[in-house]
Each structure stands twice: as structure tokens, then as C-alpha cells.
């Protein structure tokens, strides 16, 4: 499998072709908010890989950051975001986020999101690297679930077409090289379909499943990013992967996120001897995520580490972190009396499909927002709880653009289908499925070991050789697990290339052979299919 323009080279001759004005790919906060804000003017269709609730949004615990508290302001939020981003944030984009954020959060509230209140007023929490209490949360630690539930309900009440179990394989273009459609696998009918649209918005989320340990759900395999890359879209800052410092670390248990808000409320990290080990680090437990994750990683070389909730008290734990309390209890840990084992896990991609402030990619008619997109907002290290806000604000900006300017409806005759595409679909076999599973597990271990929290040239070159070998050997069949694995291998290769090219340490990218931030490296890496060299640009 090489860097081809298409993941598969096959089309049945009697394939179903569908049309819609706006095609939204993904059903997390970015995709659904986009659909809601556009449906009053356009016919909108949402395609989602599984059911509509399956996204990273549903799993977000801590909350959403917005300068709505009386002692807060967009200016304070701006400074905190810039500081966390390790001198790589696009200040224009950060200004838009922090100023427009409160308005977008109010829209969520109008849609029906019930954020937690205290004595009748919104209850704000504090998380790492925030100078103010500005984190809105819902049902304690179920913020994402409450937002996703509300947005799904709002979508279902509107004239929005929802197509679940539709896996986007590749983007299709017309003779003018404009993106005008997608090739989709309907996993319910096992049929390939084409969807054409005047504009396509990618909101497919991140790629956490590239790593052995991740807080992300199973659906986050980077499919939209990989498809955009194959279509010729530029990708930016792919070396910057954020590792959350605290995920449940129990043998046999899933890598369950333990929210940063726990440390914001007073939970502390301790080692196997019961001693705190963050006291000598500026910011201690509330230092930026990359700092805490590396401190945890190094401490774990000496032995297990734990998050100690005991100082919070049972009542506060049950009120503020009911989901975490119940989950840990199910694995034998009453966090009100016993510290729980934790460790870092892959959490968020700061990079993604390169977009401008209005969500435009480098390809006409193709937009992107949410975690799959990169406009320089998060720099080298995302500030906690800015991710949900990112999805809202920049989805909103895309809708403003599309309401003013949008291309004509494409017709099937305009599609540029390569003449050598096969007319028969290769059947998958049990051995193919097994190989996909085995390769995925090996890839996840390689990424965790060599392209994780601490990297170096030797390890990156080893990872590059191994991943490239798998890419050459693996040919996906028309099964979603195969298609996902192929996408993951492509993205793993791109992360490694970007990580090798950045010979410094900054935010979520730390190289032990270049352990400090370098002069002149305040630039963004750019990758494009067909170009062997990683370029660096200032924005």
C-alpha cells in the first residue's frame, strides 16, 4: 500500500449515486453543530461511521472552556491558550476562539444543554494551565455525553438527513480538481455508494487508536484525515499528539480517562511509596498536560503511580465525578479511600487537515473542523477543555462562509473516475481480517514505544521502517476493519515523518536527542501527498 490517490481502486457499475447540498462527515460536536446551523438554508446530510452517538464528544469528561465567569475575560482565556501552546499558536485564531466562544456556548444552552449549577448560577471548574475557573461541566463528569445527547436530539427534530453506518473511503473530484463527492461503504448493506454535494465538511475526529493506550473510543482511526491526504489536501502539525497524564492503568481494564478536572479540584499524583512527585515542577499537578505526562512517564520507570482523591471527600467525589467513581469502583478501587493506578495515554491530535480561519482546506469545496482540522489554534499543546469549544466556534465560522458563497450542485457526469478502476470488489477472507488485526496491534505498539511521549531519531527510524514494511505488505479488502487499518498505517507514517523533521522539543513533541525548544522552530510542519520533504511555514 503506497501513497495512492485512492484507498481502493474498485467500483461496481450499478452503484447508487445520491445528492445533497451540504454533506457533513462525522457526528461529534463539530459535525452536528455545523448541520444544525446550516439546515435552515440547505439540505444537509450527516454521514457517520457507526451510530450517531459514537464520537469522542460523548466521552469528554472535564468540560468546555469559555470566559463566562464574572472574574474572567476572553483576554485571560487568550493568554492561557497562548501560554499552553508552547509559542506555536496562531494568535489570530486564538483570539477568534476566546471572543466567539461564550456566544457559541450560550447557543448550546439554548439548544438544551444543562450545565451544572451552584446556587442557581453556572458552576465553573478549574483545570491545568487555566488562570481562572472557566470550565463548564454537566452531570459532574459527563459533559460530553450531555452535549452529544442534546445535539443529537436537536438534529433529529430538524430536517437533517442522518445516515448511520456509512464509512467514508475517499473523496471524489470533478475535471476542475474540485472536491464534489465521497465514495462510501454502507456497512449495513455492504454496498459502495457515492454521495455528491455542493460542499463537504470533514468533522471525523482524531486518530487516538493509532496508539496502544488511548482515551479515545474505537471509532477514532483518523479516516477523514487520511482520505483528505490522499485527495491532495495539506496536513499540518502531525507530530503534535497530546498524551493525557491520567488514564486508568489496571491490567485487563480499558484505558479509561480520569479527567484533569480531578486535579483541578485537589486530587494529587503520588508514587508507589505514597509520596507526591510533582511538587518541584512549576504548576505541580496543574502544569500543562505535556509537562505532567512526561513527569508521569519518567516516574513510572521507577514504579507505578496513583491519583489520590482522598482529600476531596466522598460527597464531593460522588457529586463532581460520579462516572469516574463508579468506573473505578467496578475495578475494585473506591477512590474515596484508595488511590487509583494511572498512566498517560494518547488523547488528542493538535495537527490535522490544514485549514484557514474559516475552515477551508487546500482543496476547493472541502472544509474541515474539530479535531481532524488544524488552523494553529492549539499550537504544540492544547489547553484543557478547549477542544469542545474549538468544534463549536470553527464549525460556526464555516456555516457563515457557506451561507454567503457555495458552488453549484455537481452532477454524476462531472465525476473523474480513473479508467483503470475495477468493476468487481475483491472478497475479504478470514486470513485478511486476521492480518489486519495483527498488523493493527503491532502498529499500535510501535507508535506507543517509539512515537509516543518521549522520542528520538533512532526510535523514529525504527518505527518508520516497520510501518513502511506493513504499508507495503498490506492490501485492504472491503471491510471496515481493513480500511481503518490502512488509514491508520498511512497516518502513522505521516506522524513519524513530521516527528523526524522537527529536530527540537516543543509541547506534545518531545525528542530526547533534541530536548529543548530550538530557535527558529516556531513554524508549522506541512505534509502533502507526492511531496517527499516536510515543509515548515509561518502562519
Q: Which residues are catalytically annotated?
A: 289
- How far apart are alpha carbons 34 and 21 in whole angstroms? 13
CA distance 423 to 227: 21
Cα–Cα distance between 342 and 292 in angstroms, integer? 12
Helix (H, G, I), strand (E, B) or coil at 345: strand
The H or E element spanning position 387 is helix 387-402
- Find where cell 527558529 sits: 520
According to the 3-state scheme, what is the secondary structure of 186-216? ECCCCEEEEEEEEEEEECCCCCHHHCCCECC
> Residue 239 is placed in which grid cell?
507530530
Q: Which three cell numbers stand for residue 78?
A: 487568550
CA 428/CA 180 separation, integer angstroms:
29
CA 247 – CA 263 distance, rounded (Å): 13
Q: Strand, helix or coil at 2?
A: coil
Residue 30 and residue 395 in contact, taking contact as beta carbons nearer than 8 Å: yes
Buried b (16+ CB within 10 A) or exposed e, 97-133: bbbbbbebbeebeebebebbeeeeeebbbbbbbbebe
Which segments of 17-126 does DSSP mark as H helices, in order?
A: 29-38, 74-84, 91-111
Q: How far is it, in rounded angstroms, from Cα 311 to Cα 336?
A: 8
The torsion angles phi and psi of 247, rounded to 5 degrees, stand at: -125, 150
Amino acid at each position: 500500500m503506497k501513497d495512492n490517490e485512492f484507498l481502493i481502486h474498485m467500483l461496481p457499475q450499478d452503484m447508487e449515486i445520491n445528492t445533497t447540498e451540504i454533506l457533513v462527515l462525522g457526528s461529534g460536536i463539530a459535525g452536528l453543530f455545523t448541520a444544525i446551523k446550516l439546515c435552515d438554508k440547505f439540505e444537509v446530510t450527516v454521514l457517520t461511521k457507526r451510530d450517531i452517538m459514537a464520537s469522542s464528544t460523548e466521552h469528554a469528561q472535564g468540560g468546555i472552556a469559555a470566559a463566562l465567569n464574572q472574574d474572567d475575560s476572553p483576554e485571560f482565556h487568550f493568554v492561557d491558550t497562548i501560554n499552553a501552546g508552547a509559542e506555536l499558536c496562531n494568535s489570530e485564531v486564538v483570539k477568534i476562539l476566546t471572543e466567539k466562544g461564550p456566544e457559541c456556548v450560550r447557543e448550546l444552552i439554548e439548544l438544551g444543554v444543562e450545565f451544572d449549577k451552584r446556587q442557581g448560577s453556572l458552576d465553573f471548574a478549574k483545570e491545568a494551565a487555566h488562570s481562572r475557573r472557566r470550565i463548564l461541566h454537566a452531570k459532574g463528569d459527563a459533559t460530553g455525553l450531555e452535549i452529544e445527547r442534546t445535539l443529537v436530539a436537536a438534529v433529529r427534530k430538524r430536517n437533517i438527513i442522518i445516515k448511520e453506518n456509512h464509512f467514508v473511503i475517499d473523496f471524489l473530484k470533478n475535471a476542475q480538481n474540485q472536491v464534489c463527492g465521497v465514495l462510501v461503504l454502507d456497512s449495513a448493506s455492504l454496498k459502495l455508494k457515492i454521495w455528491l454535494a455542493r460542499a463537504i465538511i470533514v468533522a471525523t475526529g482524531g486518530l487516538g487508536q493509532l496508539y496502544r493506550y488511548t482515551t479515545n473510543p474505537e471509532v477514532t482511526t483518523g479516516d477523514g484525515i487520511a482520505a483528505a491526504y490522499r485527495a491532495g489536501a495539506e496536513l499540518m502539525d502531525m507530530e503534535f499528539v497530546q498524551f493525557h497524564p491520567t488514564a486508568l492503568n489496571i491490567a485487563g481494564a480499558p484505558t479509561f480517562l480520569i479527567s484533569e478536572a480531578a486535579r483541578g479540584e485537589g486530587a494529587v499524583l503520588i508514587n508507589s511509596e505514597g509520596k507526591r512527585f510533582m511538587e518541584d515542577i512549576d504548576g505541580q499537578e496543574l502544569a500543562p498536560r505535556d509537562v505532567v505526562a512526561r513527569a508521569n512517564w519518567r516516574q513510572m520507570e521507577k514504579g507505578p503511580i496513583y491519583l489520590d482523591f482522598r482529600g476531596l471527600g466522598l460527597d464531593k467525589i460522588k457529586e463532581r465525578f460520579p462516572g469516574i467513581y463508579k468506573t473505578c469502583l467496578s475495578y475494585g478501587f473506591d477512590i474515596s479511600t484508595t488511590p487509583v493506578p494511572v498512566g498517560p495515554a494518547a488523547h488528542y491530535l493538535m495537527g490535522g487537515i490544514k485549514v484557514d480561519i474559516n475552515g477551508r482546506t487546500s482543496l476547493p469545496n472541502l472544509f474541515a473542523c474539530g479535531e481532524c482540522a488544524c488552523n494553529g489554534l492549539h499550537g504544540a499543546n492544547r489547553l484543557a477543555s478547549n477542544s469542545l469549544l474549538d468544534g463549536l466556534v470553527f464549525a460556526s465560522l464555516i456555516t457563515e462562509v457557506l451561507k454567503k458563497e457555495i458552488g453549484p450542485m455537481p452532477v454524476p457526469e462531472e465525476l473523474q473516475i480513473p479508467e483503470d478502476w475495477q468493476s468487481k470488489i475483491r472478497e475479504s477472507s478470514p486470513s485478511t481480517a486476521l492480518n489486519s488485526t495483527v498488523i493493527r496491534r503491532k502498529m499500535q505498539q510501535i507508535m506507543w514505544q517509539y512515537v509516543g511521549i518521549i522520542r528520538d531519531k533512532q526510535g523514529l527510524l525504527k518505527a518508520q521502517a516497520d510501518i513502511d514494511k506493513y504499508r507495503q505488505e498490506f492490501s485492504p479488502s472491503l471491510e471496515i476493519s481493513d480500511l481503518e487499518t490502512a488509514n491508520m498505517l498511512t497516518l502513522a507514517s505521516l506522524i513519524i515523518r513530521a516527528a523526524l523533521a522537527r529536530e527540537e522539543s516543543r509541547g506534545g513533541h518531545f525528542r530526547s536527542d533534541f530536548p529543548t525548544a530550538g530557535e527558529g522552530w516556531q513554524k508549522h510542519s506541512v505534509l502533502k501527498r507526492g511531496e517527499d520533504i516536510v515543509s515548515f511555514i509561518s502562519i
